[in-house]
Amino acid sequence: MQFDGYELKDYIVRALKDLKFESFTDVQKSVFEELKTEKNILAKSKTGSGKTHAFLIPIFNDLDEDKEEVFSTIIAPTKELAQQIYKMAQHIASFCPKAINIKLFISGTDREREIAKLNNKNPQIVIGTPGKIKDLAIDNNVLKIYTSKYLIVDEVDMTFESGFIDEVDSICNVIDSARFMFFSATMREEILPFLKKYMTNVSLVDIKNTNDNKIEHIWLPLKHKERLDVLEALLKNINPYLCIIFVNKKENVNNVVSRLNSLGYFVGSMHGDLTSRERKRVLEDAKKLKYQYIVATDLAARGIDIQGVSHIINFELPGDYEFYLHRSGRTGRMYSDGIVYSFYEDLDDEYLDFLNKKGIKPKYYEIKGGELVEYKGRNTRQQRVKPTTNYELEASKYIPKSNKVKPGYKKKRQAQIDDLAKRLKKNDQKKKKRRTIKK
């Protein structure tokens, strides 16, 4: 049966129509085209662009439903992401007239029971976390993944950053004859040497800012005001269906949640200290619309598919430019629109200029008289931080003294000044380096 110009099995097309798919996304089309070659695939495309179906559809389309052996192994860095992939795979399989054996292997399950079942029969599609798959496939040799024709690693950069390099290495060695397909929303330069070890004869699929025309970017200057005060003022001007507020540290999650709770907002939180059960509860509550706001760190929210996100607020800009794009991808997914609000300081000029070069064309607003109004100061010469050799003195200008002095205030303010001075110095060094290169 034909769907968007591609020949697919009838049951796959019925599954896609049930999902209200009208056509394939850019990353899906690119991956399908590359699959016509013999190359392995390294795909980079933002969250919400359809990466999961980009590998599930080819797997089901090539699967021999009558053959009782492992056909594909799919690795995800977190149990939550593995569960999401499993549900999507189950949805496609539910339209097939023949039973397809799909198994999920994550922590918190009955290991002895799993081993006993695997001794009797192996699944056709394996989905799980690296540690669990290694335990069953290599340490206990009951999960026969060596027959896999496909090896998928989803959110590959997060998989490596989370410390699963050894597990992935072991799994790759067992099924080195399989076709490798690595997917991620970001592709940090630090992990590229690792990827080269696993992937030869590789084709890179790099989808640039897919669907960004559906996302409105609005940047708001802090103007030396407290972030929590600016956040409170912003929330009085918006009424999101569901909003994720991103912070850079888990300590800041509690600060923001506490402030919003005191204002009467329904707020959930996601950070690294939550147990898997607590994270699952937050996701379930979000689906039930118990929360209007979720405050999260990048690592906690990475790879988690939270449906219905209409707004993103960057309470703090992420240190990595790519993570700004990743956060933005949480909204405006598939056929929906979204809005991204970002707080910035004068010293973030270079950061914002970089994103501008990436094709993001933001609007600048400020909160004046309690309302969001257009802001025209962003690109004026006065707005830019001038390089200075006395970075500590320059930084102190941006950390105003408070009239209410609490115990430990001086020490806290000095720490803020020191941190800001380092950032100013780093920005200045980058500018000097670029000028030297141009000469």
| 3-state SS string for 24-40 | CCHHHHHHHHHCCCCCE
| Residue whose pair of structure tokens reads 């430019």 in the numeric block | 321
pLDDT reported for residue 389: 47
Determine the Cα–Cα distance for residues 61 and 185; give it in Å rounded to an integer.
24
| Mean pLDDT along residues 323-338 | 75
Give the range among 123-132, 153-162, 204-213, 407-416 with minimum mean pLDDT.
Answer: 204-213
- Does 438 fall in a domain? no
pLDDT at 91 over 80: yes
Do 402 and 292 reside in the same domain of the chain? no
234-287 per-position pLDDT tens digit: 999 998 888 999 999 888 999 999 999 999 998 999 887 888 788 888 888 887
Say yes or no to pLDDT of 400 above 90: no
Q: Which residue has the tokens 């085209």?
A: 33
Q: What is the pLDDT of residue 405?
A: 53
- Lowest mean pLDDT of 168-172, 293-297, 432-436, name the range: 432-436
- Please write the tens of the pLDDT for every residue from 120-140: 999 999 999 999 999 999 999
Q: Do 33 and 110 belong to one domain? A: yes
Q: Are 124 and 71 in contact (CB under 8 A)?
A: yes
Cα dist. 39→150, 213, 436 in Å? 12, 31, 40
Share of the chain above pLDDT 70, in %: 84
Q: 261 or 307: whose pLDDT is higher? A: 261
How many separate domains does the chain show? 3
pLDDT of 328 > 60? The answer is yes
Query: What single letter denotes the amino acid at residue 80?
Result: E
Burial class (CB in 10 A: 0-12, 13-18, 19+), 239: exposed
Tell which of 206, 231, 252 closes a domain. 206
pLDDT at 335 over 60: no
Are residue 308 and residue 410 in the same domain, yes or no? no
Distance from C-alpha of 366 to C-alpha of 375, rounded to nearest angstrom: 6
- Cα distances (angstroms) measured from residue 334 to each of 154, 212, 325, 347: 19, 10, 15, 34
Q: Indicate whether 245 and 291 sit together in one domain.
A: yes
Does residue 178 share a domain with residue 126?
yes
Strands 72-75, 150-153: parallel, antiparallel or unpaired by DSSP? Answer: parallel
- Whether the CA torsion 330, 332, 337, 341 is positive or negative: it is positive
* Shared-domain flag, residues 42 and 104: yes
d(CA 273, CA 256): 16
Task: Please tell me whether residues 375 and 428 are part of one structural domain.
Answer: no
Top pLDDT among 433 and 161 is at 161
Does residue 336 fall inside a structural domain? yes
Instruction: State whether 237 and 349 are in the same domain.
Output: yes
Q: What backbone torsions phi and psi does residue 241 show, to the nearest 5 degrees?
A: -70, -50
Containing structural domain, residue 196? 2-206
Domain boundary residue among 383, 400, 422?
Answer: 383
H helix intervals, 320-439: 321-328, 349-357, 391-396, 409-438
- 29-43, 263-277, 405-419: the lowest-pLDDT one: 405-419
Residue of 334, 320, 397, 328 lying closest to 361 (CA atoms): 328
The mean of the pLDDT values for the chain is 84
* 244 contacts 306 by C-beta, under 8 angstroms: yes
Q: How far apart are CA 329 and CA 309, in angstroms?
A: 10
Average pLDDT over residues 408-434: 72
Residue 125, domain member (yes or no): yes
Q: Which long-range contacts (CB under 8 A, 24 or more apart) does 423-426 make?
A: 423/347, 424/347, 424/385, 424/388, 424/391, 424/394, 424/395, 425/391
Residue among 358, 415, 410, 352 at smallest CA distance from 385 = 352
Instruction: Specify whether 234 is located in the same domain as 197.
Output: no
Query: Are 225 and 286 members of one domain?
Result: yes
Question: Higher model confidence: residue 258 or residue 350?
Answer: 258
Kindly state whether residue 162 falls inside one of the protein's structural domains.
yes
d(CA 167, CA 153): 12
380 confidence band (pLDDT: 50, 70, 90): very low
Residue 304 covered by a domain: yes
Asked, for residue 21, whether it belongs to a domain, the answer is yes
323 vs 301: CA distance, rounded Å: 11
Sequence length of the chain is: 439
pLDDT classification of 439: cutoffs 50, 70, 90: very low
pLDDT above 50: residue 413: yes
Could you tell me if 10 and 107 lie in one domain?
yes
Query: What values do phi and psi take at 247, rounded to 5?
Result: -125, 165
Task: Find the DSSP H helices in 175-275.
Answer: 192-198, 227-235, 250-262
CB contact at 8 A, 248 and 296: no
What pLDDT is attached to residue 398? Answer: 66
pLDDT at position 416: 79
In 3-state terms, what secondary structure has residue 278?
Answer: helix
Pick 304 or 427 by higher pLDDT: 427
> What is the predicted pLDDT for the residue at 387?
42
pLDDT tens profile 66-86:
999 999 999 999 888 899 999
Last residue of a domain, one of 360, 383, 406: 383
Question: Can you tell me the distance from the alpha carbon of 242 to that of 262, in angstroms, rounded to the nearest whole number?
Answer: 19
Query: Can you tell me the distance from the alpha carbon of 92 to that of 73, in angstroms, rounded to the nearest whole number?
Result: 17
Mean pLDDT of 150-166: 88
Mean pLDDT within 339-368: 85
Asked if 23 and 123 sit in the same domain, the reply is: yes
439 falls within a domain: no
> Which tokens go with 407?
């115990």
Residue 69 in contact with residue 90, Cβ under 8 Å?
Answer: no
Q: What is the pLDDT of residues 166-210, one digit of tens each?
A: 899 999 999 988 999 999 877 766 677 667 777 778 888 887 654
DSSP state of 77: S
pLDDT for 438: 45
CA dist., res. 436 & res. 182, Å (int): 37
For residue 335, tell me if it sits in a domain: yes
Look up the CATH number of the domain holding residue 283.
3.40.50.300
Q: Residue 38 above 70 pLDDT?
A: yes
Tokens of 228: 């929590």
Given a contact cutoff of 8 angstroms between Cβ atoms, the answer to whether 166 and 16 are in contact is no
pLDDT band at 214 (very low <50, low <70, confident <90, very high): confident
Nearest in space to 216 (alpha carbons), one of 337, 316, 114 = 337
Indicate whether 104 pLDDT > 90: yes
